Amino acid sequence: MQERILNSLIHGYLSFFDILRSYDINLAVVNHLSSNILGMVYKTKRQTYVIVLNGNINYETQCKVFLHELYHIENHMPTMGYCIGLDMQHTPLELEAENA
């Protein structure tokens, strides 16, 4: 399923905003993130999610990172109070989201 969504995003059949509207998620594309941070997700005080993407990476990578962060929203965020960390690429949560 994620592969079909990824292909639809890359080829322009689907946009980030189509997905964001259906989940009520906000998106921020930021150009001043460190090059080792591709993206992140957080929950605001108003209980809405924000996916942050690094604006300095190519569109295909942004699509992959977007789906990765969406996986966290669907599968990890509802059961976790919070998760803080910028160097988490080798944790079980990250590996699970990466291999989904």
- Bigger pLDDT: 49 vs 23: 49
**% of residues, the chain, pLDDT over 90:** 16
H, E, C per residue of the chain: CHHHHHHHHHCCCCCHHHHHHHHCEEEEEECCCCCCCCEEEEECCCCCEEEEEECCCCHHHHHHHHHHHHHHHHHCHHHCCCCCCCCCCCCHHHHHHHCC
In the predicted model, is pLDDT for residue 91 greater than 70?
no
pLDDT in tens, 52-88: 999 999 999 898 888 888 888 888 776 665 555 555 5
pLDDT of residue 71: 86
Please state the domain extents for the chain: 2-98
